Amino acid sequence: MTDFYDDLETRSSDQREAALFAALPAHLAHAKASAPHFTRILDGVDPTSIRDRAALATLPVTRKADLIALQQAEPPFGGLAAVEIGRLARVFASPGPIHDPEPHGKDPWRSARALYASGFRAGDLAHNCFAYHLTPAGSMFETGAHAIGCAVIPAGTGNTETQAQVIAHLKPRGYIGTPDFLKIVLEKADALGLDGSSIRIGNVSGGPYLPDARAFYESRGIAVYQSYGTADLGIVAYETQARAGLVVDEGAIIEIVRPGTGNPVPEGEVGEVVVTIFNPAYPLIRFATGDLSAVLPGTSPCGRTNMRLKGWMGRADQTTKVKGMFVHPAQIAEVLRRHPAVAKARLVVGRQDASDTMTLRCEATESGETLAAAIRDSLTAVTKLKGAVEFVAPGALPNDGKVIDDTRG
């Protein structure tokens, strides 16, 4: 697998940035004019001024965690869609419920590039074990497989005996589905004495791709790669033959921000994945996924030149309850905003003498009781709870994206 889906994958970083940010102003103008949610939150924004990452970072984020409330207040899509519902190809209902629109067009979820990197080629038969009922994953990958030129078995989930029989009879070359389900199906085929050896490649998503599953597929000579995406955005990044992080899709702008804020973190620091996509029907701009990741330095050994992510590293929404009160990462960000001397902080929630405790550990350019007292006052004002302040050396806090660390078990 030494070729690429198209020339976009090997262009220089400067060329990619120039192309993305040349297209962004018109996309922002379209979203602002056509999607009520973006009309509201981009009020006063001149789209023609958003031409680089620094300018993009000034725009408000829209959080996936808020979609349920947004859609309940303004059905069906919370004002985020830029077309009428009848002009869509499909409408899904993900758990929540959250309704996800699929526009017409070739590869609307941008999965073809990820499938191609996994080895899928025109003329292959793909066994698609993602759900087709209400949720978008089945269609998300089927449309990408069709864009490549693959035929697809719409297998869906469950029915492992039938799945094994279909594979033995139709002999698909590729598997698409969750990381562990192929293992279950192949073990069922073994138990039934059926031949599942036609499967040679796979693309998996929707859950952690754990080492035991990787080892199982490698032992059977099956090259299985993972993709990262969401039901709202489609595919955001994907693994390649190099197995060196996840290469960002060419149709997305990725930012890594400090949880609870929209502020980008330095390269390599763990933060929340924020995505902007160029979907004219559902123009998600600075969409905060709630997932943690970090940017890997350099480019992939596979030859693709886009940014790489380390992969899924946990959840950014670390909201916890202390003494009956919810404490949110955004509140810790507000405390830091009031004290520029604090570069980074982590609220450690513990338990002592049957009572909840809070300690804000701060990486700061200065210290002392005067600053500590001021930070304590801000912490109380913002959270309505009292807590201690502890200064640590710059770089002492772990690089894991945690803003709130609940140690109470």
User: 27 pLDDT exceeds 70?
Assistant: yes
Q: At 316, is the pLDDT very low, low, confident or very high (cuts 50, 70, 90)?
A: confident
Domains in the chain: how many in total?
Answer: 2
pLDDT of residue 314: 84
Domain boundary (268, 289, 315) is at 315
294 contacts 310 by C-beta, under 8 angstroms: yes
Q: Mean pLDDT over all residues of the chain?
A: 95
Predicted confidence band at 191 (pLDDT cuts at 50, 70, 90)?
Answer: very high
74 and 154 together in one domain: yes
**Does the pTM exceed 0.85?**
yes
| Confidence at residue 313, expressed as pLDDT on a 0 to 100 scale | 87
Please tell me whether residues 48 and 131 are part of one structural domain.
yes
What CATH number did the domain enclosing 390 receive?
3.30.300.30
pLDDT (0 to 100) of residue 232? 95
Percentage of the chain modeled with pLDDT above 90: 87
The parent domain of residue 199 ranges over: 13-315
| pLDDT confidence tier of residue 22, bands split at 50, 70 and 90 | very high
Please report, for the domain that includes residue 177, its CATH number. 3.40.50.12780
The helix/strand/coil state of 338 is helix
Least confident of 154-158, 221-225, 328-332, 369-373: 328-332
Q: How far is CA 251 from the centre of its chain?
A: 14
Among residues 263, 280, 315, which one ends one of the domains?
315
In a domain, 99, yes or no: yes
Q: Which two tokens stand for residue 263?
A: 């502020």
Identify the band that residue 1 occupies on the pLDDT scale cut at 50, 70 and 90: very low
How long, in residues, is the chain? 409
State pLDDT tens for residues 62-103: 999 899 999 999 999 999 999 999 999 999 998 778 999 999
